[in-house]
Every structure is written in C-alpha cells, then in structure tokens.
Chains A and B, each alone.
Chain A
Amino acid sequence: MFKKQSVSAYSKKVRAREASAEKTVTQLIDGQREPNKKLNAILEINERALQRAKEVDEGRFDKGRLTGVPILVKDNFCVAGQSATAASRILENFKPPYTAHCIQRLEDEGAIIIGKTNMDEFAMGSSNENSFFGPCRNPWNLDYVPGGSSGGSAAAVAAGLAPISVGSDTGGSIRQPASFCGVVGIKPTYGAVSRYGMIAFASSLDQAGTFGRSVADAALALEVMIDHDTRDATNVRTPFATLSTNKSLPLKGVRVGVVKEYMAADLNKELREAIEGNIETLKQQGCEIVDVSLPHTDYAIPVYYLVAASEASSNLSRYDGVRYGLRDLSSPTDEPLQDLNDFYKRTRSHGFGDEVKRRILLGTFSLSAGYFDAFYAKACQVRRLISDDFKNAYEKCDFIVGPVSTAPAFKMGEKKDDPISMYYNDILTTPASLAGLPSMSLPLGLSSERLPLGLQVIAPPFHDDKMVMFANALEELIGFTEVCNV
C-alpha cells in the first residue's frame, strides 16, 4: 500500500479519517509473516502497535507529521518495554525501561513502532550474517546478503514490510544495505540525531538514520528524528529547521564532485557504467562536474577499523553479567569459578559472537600500553587528514557523488571467512563516516542479475537539507521504479 503512495499523503489520510491506522498495521503485521520467514528481517513485532494504531484512529495524534505511519526499528534502539538485543546473545532478554530519544520523537509525531529489525551483532558487519538470530536475506535474491549492519531495516522496506525503517550507520551501515536492497538510506551529519538510547558501537561514528522507498519518505522520518537533546553531549543544534523533503534543487550550476580515488577503485563493471551514466546525465542537466581528490582514501579502512574497534572495545565492557543481560557462568569442563576475571570471561565469551570478539580484541590491543601511539593515536591523526581532504574538496564542489560499495550485493557466505575483503567493502562509505558528513544512498538501477545498484551522495557537514533537495532532483532524473517480490 506504500508502493505508490507517499508516507506524508498516507498520514494526511489518517488524519482526515480517510485511512485507518489500525487497518494498515493489521495488514502489515499479518502480511509480514510469510515473507519474513524467508527474509528474517523482523526480529520482534511490537505487541502494543495495534493498541497504538487505535489511539491514532481516535485522533490522539492528529497534530503529528507521521500520524499513523508504521515504522520498523533496528534492534539496537531502545524502546521501553520491547526487547533491544543488538542481535547479540548477551542482550537476548534485555528489555530497556527507556526509549531512545529519536524513537520517542517519531512516536510523538504519531508514528507507530511495529517491530524491531535484524542486524549484525552490535552493528559490526556489512552483510547481516553476524546476527545471533541468524542472517537476514536480500529480498531481491534470497541467496544474497542484504548488506549490513542495518540489513533487516533495509530488507524490510525493500520487501514492503513497512514504508519506513530506522537504522544506524557507523561506517556505512545504512548506505550500504540501502544500496544492496534498492531503497533510499540517509545518514545525517554526525550529531544531528541524538544517540541517547541507541546501543553504542563506536561513539564518535554512530549516527541514526532512516530507510524509505523514496527520498521524501526517508527524509520526513529523519526530519522528525533530528532534534536537540540535552542527554547527548555530542548532539548539536542543526542550522536547518526542516529537511525540505518535497523540494528539488535546481540542478543547473550545481558543482558535482567526482572523487578520483573512488572511481579508481576496483569497481564492478555494471556499477561503474551506471555511476558514469548518472554523472553524464547530471552534466546534461547543467551540473558542473568537478574532479576532486581525497588523497587519504586508502587509509580510511585501517583508520575506521582502529577507531571503531577501540571505542567498541570500551563501549562493550559494560556487558558483564552484573546488572542486565546474559549471565552464563557455565564451562565445558564444569570447573568452579576461579576469580573475578573468570566470572567476566565466561559470560562475555558465551555472549559475544566471533566478529564482536575480533573487534574487541583489536580495539583492546590498539589502546593497550605500548601500542596506543602507533595504532589508536595514529588513526585519530590520519582521521583528521581524511576529514581535511573533504574540506578541501568542498571548496571546489557542492556535493560528491559516487558508488556506495565496489559491487552490488554479494552471495551469502561468500566473504564470511575473509574478514579483510569484508572490511574492504566499506572503503567508499567509511571516509564520510570518519569526517561526520551527511551522506545517503539512492537506488540507481538493477544489474543484469536484477540486483540493485546504488548511488552515494556526500554533502558538507550540516548540509543535510540541501543534500535531500539534491537527492530529490536526482531521484526524479533516475526514475527507479523497480519493485521486488518476496
């Protein structure tokens, strides 16, 4: 029902009592059962969603911008009384008594949280294969990964299980799955959306964002989530009041940057052609195509993984089996507990998956005595150089366009045993994350194998509203209308 209708048009109907939220939510909850068996995109349906839909139909949220709009939320966001597992065994039974600020904002505007979506454990992964609850699949082809870490949120929107979903992006975790699943995914400027209540992976990189079938849908939900919150010290007051969700930027004279290093990457042929075709179209529309260079791109992966792993090793220390979450003191040999260290080790070793352990080890190492300077501190310095690269580029251009990943979705299991090539996947999304820039993914077309191809737009910090206007114009130009059927 959201395939042709925009979320704002639907919400208007609900407010005018021309559409029933209860009916919509019922349809979605019933409708997801079969496809979700194949996809494993949704982990939990919110039992209170129907009750809330009734309240919406009673007119209790008639002033909202998202009245009656059903939304799925990645399972690393806290919603009071609902599970929030971050797809980890260590939080399998955790039900937070508080709601993330950005989710509260959606609810305040009348949205209905209908459930929680699958993800890579603690958002660590690019394929959604690292979930304690099993992998999520790509709705365009079930043998393929949906991308990650917000794989469930991307797959669910692509498969029509909800019109909008919320995800989080640390090094590409919204943009890459959006491109693999053929939907729009937006990551705002770092600090635009409060992180309060979003389970941390890497504090200086994590940002909440949205998925939608259209730029306007994704941007509308994001606009609501962007709000100043005094509970997050890194949250900033944005200079824009709205995201101009329905406005298109006139393309004439827009300076579009094409990054030399991105285009020199080992890109999939069809993807390269699609990107180059798009750049050509922009040129025809009057855009000025500018070649720019981000010379430190090659270092983005080491810098990203060192910074993210270091912060994660610290952020995940709180999972210790004392105050909440798993406590599993079993041992294969039934030995009694030896000491305090043993008490922690048992629960943490049972509770975390291998990729999470790998990153905790990497981060612990990178912060440890004797290695700190060469690893963590060095990475923070190169991060500055990466950020400065963008500053220099934006003197010459207004936006950067390019690929999101080097290739469309890969097969499940294909990279599971090759962490390096899995990490390399993020080469085109991590630079913007490190610099804290707003960036998004737009569906560009399908490959010959009918797998979505994505286009990435990266804007200067706090130009989220202009990025959305530019994306609206791009979306019209591209005219992507393909729909997948699960």
Chain B
Amino acid sequence: MSSEYDVVIGLEIHAQLATQSKCFSAASTDFGLGHNENVSAVCAGMPGTLPVLNEQAVELSLKTALVLNCDVQKTSVFARKQYFYPDMPKGYQISQYERPIALNGYVDFYLDGEKNRVQLERAHMEEDAGKSTHFGEYTLINLNRAGIPLLEIVSRPEIKSAKQAAAYARTVRQALRYAEVCDGNLEEGSLRCDCNVSIKPKGQVELGTKVELKNINSFRFIEKALDYEIQRQIQCKMIGEPIVQETRLYDSVKNKTFSMRMKEEANDYRYFPEPDLLPLVLQQEDIERIKKTLPEHPTRRYERFVEELKLKPEDSELLTSEKALADFFEDVVAKIGNSQLVCNWVTGEFLRLFNDDESATWRNFPMSVSAFSELLEQVSNKTISANQAKEVLEDMWKTGQSASKIIKDKGLEQITDDSQIEKLVEKVLSENQDKVSEYQSGKDKLYGFFVGQVMKASKGQASPEVVNRLLKERLKK
C-alpha cells in the first residue's frame, strides 16, 4: 500500500437478532421455510396493520449495547426511513434515527500482538427488508425476511487498514456469539458488513470521497475487498481520475469491486418519528438485570488466558474464538487442573476430531466435560500413554463410550503395581542368566533387551517407568 495516503474505514454491521418472531409482528423469523410462508399481514404492509415491538428484540439489543460498551439510551425513538423498493412493503423501513438505543462504545481486540480499539458511533434497532431475486424478464419477491429485527452497529470512521477492519468485524461477531444475540453467519446474511472507505493524502484532515462496499459475505473477503478498493482508489488518484461517491459490490470470484451504477442522487429519506409506535423506554433495573447475564468479553478472556493461565497467545486466541470451546476448556481445567495439558489436548486432538466431524457444532457440542476430563485424568496419572489416549479419544468420539470403559475393554490399563512387575522381571532374568552375566560384565547395550522382554511378558501393559526402575535396581545387585 502506498504510504502517501491515509486510509479511513468505517464499518456498518447489521446483526440479525436471534428472536423467534419478527421485530413488529408474530411471524416466525425462520426464513428458510417456503416462499412467503413467514409473512403476516403486518410484514406485507397490508392496509390497517400496525407494528408492535418485540420485547426480546429489545432485550437482545440492550445486551449487545452493553457487550459493546455503549451508553444505553433510556429513551429511544423509532422513525420511518422512506424510500420505494419492491421488497420493502410499507414504502418505509422502521429504524431508529435521531435517538438510537445505544451511543458511543468501543471494541477491543488484538492484532499482531498489539491491543487495538475501535470506537463506535452508535447502535440502532431496525427491521430487515424482504429479498428480491432478479431474473431477466421479471423480479420475484419473498417477504420471509421482511421485518426480522436487526441491530446496526456503526463504527467511527477510524479504522486504518483492511486488516484492522477484518479483525474488528471478527471480534464483533465473536462478542455477539458470546452473548448469544446473533448467530453471526455471514454466508446466510444473519451478519452483514458494509464498509465505507476513503483515502486522503497523509496528514490531510479533510476526508476523501467515500465509497460504500456491500455484498461481502466472509471475513476473508472484508480484507480482500478493502485491499482491492484501496488500491483502486490510489490508482484513481495517480491517474487523476475522480473517485465517485457510490456503492460498489464485491465480486469474490474476480476479487474486484464494481459499481452498482445506481443513480446516487442524494437520497432524501424523509425520516420522521414513527407515529404508530411510542418511544421505547428502558428502566435502570432492566439494564442492571441484563448486565448480570453478560458473559466475559472474549478479548478479556483472551487476556486472562495469557496472563493468568500463562498460555501462549495463539493458543489463547484459538481457545477463546468460540465461547463454547472456551467454556469447555475452562470447565475441564476446573476439574483436573493442569491448564497446559488441557490446552494441548483441546487445541490438538480435540479440535482435529471436531473439525473432521461434520455433525459437531458449537451448539451441538460433541463431548461432555466429564467424559473429556476422565480421559485426561488417565493421561495425567499415567494410566495410559499419550498415544493410547489419542486412540481412546477417537473411540470415545465414535461410540460415545466413556474413557474408562474403552481402556478396560481394550485392556490398555498400565500395570503399575511393583510386586506384579517384579515377578515378571525375576522371570525374565532367570530365563536369561547368560545375558545377565554379559550385561554385568559391561555389555550395556543389553539393557534394552531386558526392557523389551519384560514389556513383552506384560503384553505391553507394564508401566515403562516402573519396569525401568525395577530392572535397574535388580541388575545393580
């Protein structure tokens, strides 16, 4: 990237709130159902129908506002944002405008080992539109999505690079998932990320012309789309072509952004307070009640893993990427201690199996804390070896049986009992008197032979540690 320019990026993240029913009607939010099946008269904007605000949408918005360190507004007001589009049934979108539910706020995250902070401007509640599908000859409209509650999280235009933008967006998603307010699925559109980007000569105060990027459906693409767009704008500057204020779409196949070619005459949305809804008023006790339900912030948890559990930053990042995983890790540590051992096993074998198993999801967590703890206990008290434990874990994954049952059925328990192993050592030595004499006369290499024989006699179950100790004692004599 050219160092002659400063990059200025602001993100607008639309998060679909995880409610059962829509923002203003009792229709289901499960938009995967048949065409127009989740549509009420309210969603279709039928004459005489009226919106009534969903309590859960308010709770989840409030929770998000607190997670994002925002100043929760005790009174917020819905407005009508007016424009005509076939998938917007009423000719206006109900959206908070002048008085949103949350102002300010910030998101902390680590990027290349450095702590970063992105400041937020606001977060406001609004309803989603329907979906238009364009065919050459006609356009079809599905209203299943119309009226689904959204929270729009608006950052300040202070993000300085594509990489920082992507890391910020990832952290927002992670925080939303931690708080269980949004499932954060970019491909399905339950999280949507629009990026405003402009460049200006280094040090210039006045902002350059901004371009809005839409249609970005993965975090990787946020970075790629922004990188492309920044380069394109620098290119424009260099050849003296003006940068046009417009909306551009990102094409991930070509890795390019292209203009939507829409008349961008300054839209006059004619916002005014929605007279069908009264102001949303929150009580301090609601705010306090929701505060008590907040999970630890993922970034804070990451810091705790590094500082208190002394885990490596990359392991901590991996473990805290999903709340379910971090919870699992910490619960196992709580049971058996030894956070480094648990970390190795969770980030290693556990995640390998998890990623290979298509049915395993964070919601549908594939392993219980007690089952995994039991296995690691056997490892830590050396009942089984690490290699055996891997095998046992795979069996546990496949069969759902407990570690102890598998170990018993497979006869994997180590023999650690001195008297039992002593008998085997005696037997091996008495059967190999000649080799004992050779060894004692200096042929050290033969030691391995004795170990092997004892292990063989124990069918591999003897604890190598105990065998070693007893053999050494015995051969000294």
A–B touch (CB < 8 A): the answer is: yes
User: Contact residues of A with B, CB < 8 Å?
Assistant: 76-78, 84, 86, 91, 94, 96-98, 100, 195-200, 202-204, 230-234, 310-311, 313-314, 317-318, 320, 322-324, 340-341, 344, 364, 367-369, 372, 376
A97-B41, A314-B80, A318-B91 as given contacts; A233 in contact with B47, CB under 8 Å:
no
Query: With the chains together, A310 CA to B268 CA distance in Å?
Result: 14
Q: Which of B44-85 contact A (CB under 8 A)?
A: 44-53, 80, 82, 84-85
Instruction: Report if A86-B47 is in contact (Cβ < 8 Å); known contacts: A204-B275, A233-B277.
Output: yes
Q: Does B272 contact A (CB under 8 A)?
A: yes
Q: Mark B76-112, 1 if CB is under 8 A from A, else 0.
A: 0000101011100111100000000000000000000
Smallest beta-carbon distance A304→chain B, Å:
14
Q: In whole Å, how far is A369's beta carbon from the nearest beta carbon of chain B?
A: 5
The residues of A that contact B85 with a CB separation of less than 8 Å are 340
CA distance in complex: A306, B275 (Å): 14
Beyond A233-B278, A234-B278, is A368–B268 a contact (Cβ under 8 Å)? yes
Q: Give Cα distance in the complex from A344 to B85, angstroms.
A: 9
**Other-chain residue from A76, A91, A233, A317 in contact with B82 (beta carbon distance below 8 A):** A317
30 residue pairs A–B, Cβ–Cβ below 8 Å: A77-B48, A78-B47, A86-B47, A96-B41, A96-B47, A97-B41, A196-B49, A199-B48, A200-B276, A203-B275, A204-B275, A230-B52, A233-B277, A234-B277, A311-B275, A314-B82, A314-B272, A317-B91, A318-B45, A318-B91, A320-B84, A323-B44, A324-B44, A324-B47, A340-B85, A340-B86, A341-B84, A367-B271, A372-B270, A376-B272
Contact B50 A233 (CB under 8 A): yes
Within 8 A of A (CB), among B242-286: 266, 268, 270-272, 275-278
Q: A198 touches which one: B45, B48, B266, B270 (CB < 8 A)?
A: B48
Residues on A with beta carbons closer than 8 Å to the beta carbon of B52: 230-233
User: With A195-B48, A196-B49, A233-B53 in contact, do A98 and B276 touch (Cβ < 8 Å)?
Assistant: no
Q: Chain B residues near A230: list those with CB within 8 A.
A: 52
Known contacts A233-B276, A234-B278, A314-B92; decide if A94 and B47 are in contact (CB<8 Å).
yes
Chain B residues packing against A (C-beta within 8 Å): 41, 44-53, 80, 82, 84-86, 89-92, 141, 266, 268, 270-272, 275-278
Question: Do A364 and B270 have beta carbons less than 8 Å apart?
Answer: yes
Q: Are A314 and B91 in contact (CB under 8 A)?
A: yes
Q: How far is the CB of A153 from chain B (nearest CB, A)?
A: 17
Contacts of A322 in B (CB 8 A): 86, 89, 141
Q: In whole angstroms, how far apart are the Cα atoms of A432 and B126 in the complex?
A: 33
Chain B interface main SS type: loop
| Majority-rule SS of A interface residues | loop
A340 touching B84 in the complex, CB below 8 Å, given contacts A203-B275, A318-B89, A368-B270? yes
Additional A-B contact list (11), CB under 8 Å, known A77-B48, A78-B48, A341-B84: A98-B48, A197-B49, A199-B48, A232-B50, A233-B50, A314-B270, A317-B84, A322-B141, A340-B86, A364-B270, A372-B270
B82 to chain A: closest CB distance in Å? 6
Residue numbers in A under 8 Å from B90 (CB-CB): 317-318
Residue of B nearest to A345 (CB): B84
Cα of A96 to Cα of B47 in the assembled complex, Å: 8
Q: How long is the Cα–Cα vector from A204 to B45 in the complex, in angstroms? A: 18
Kindly provide the distance from the CB of A170 to the nearest chain B CB, expressed in whole angstroms: 12
Contact A367 B44 (CB under 8 A): no
- A198 proximity list for chain B (CB < 8 A): 48
B-chain residues with CB within 8 Å of residue A86 when the two chains form the complex: 47
> Is the beta-carbon distance between B46 and A367 smaller than 8 angstroms?
no
Are B272 and A320 in contact, with the CB atoms below 8 A?
Answer: no
Contacts of B91 in A (CB 8 A): 314, 317-318, 320
Closest Cβ–Cβ distance, residue A476 to chain B (whole Å): 37
CA distance A94 to B45 in the complex (A): 13
- Evaluate contact between A234 and B276: CB separation under 8 angstroms: yes
The 4 closest A-B pairs by CB, nearest first: A317-B91, A203-B275, A367-B270, A204-B275
B-side contacts of A96, CB under 8 Å = 41, 46-48
CA distance A77 to B268 in the complex (A): 32
Question: A232 to chain B: which residues have CB within 8 Å?
Answer: 50, 52
Within the complex, the shortest CB–CB distance from B104 to chain A, in Å, comes to 26
Bound together, the chains give a CA A198 to CA B92 distance in angstroms of 19
Residues of chain A within 8 A of B82, CB atoms compared: 314, 317, 367
Q: In the assembled complex, which residues on chain B have CB atoms less than 8 Å from the CB atom of A317?
A: 82, 84, 90-92
- Complex CA–CA separation, A122 to B45 (angstroms): 16
Measured CA separation A121–B158 after assembly (Å): 51
Cα distance, A322 to B141, chains bound together (Å): 9
Give every chain B residue within 8 A of A77 (Cβ-Cβ): 48
Residue in A196, A314, A318, A323 whose beta carbon sits within 8 Å of that of B50 in the complex: A196
How far, in angstroms, from A29 to B91 measured CA to CA in the complex?
39
B139 to chain A, nearest CB (A): 10
Partner of B84, one of A195, A313, A324, A344: A344
- Is A323 in contact with B47, judged by CB distance below 8 angstroms? no
Contacting pair B48 A369 (CB below 8 A):
no
> Chain B's nearest CB lies how many Å from the CB of A372?
7
Q: Could you tell me the distance between the alpha carbons of A344 and B83 in the complex, rounded to whole angstroms?
A: 11
Choose among B53, B89, B270 the residue that contacts A323 (Cβ–Cβ < 8 A). Answer: B89
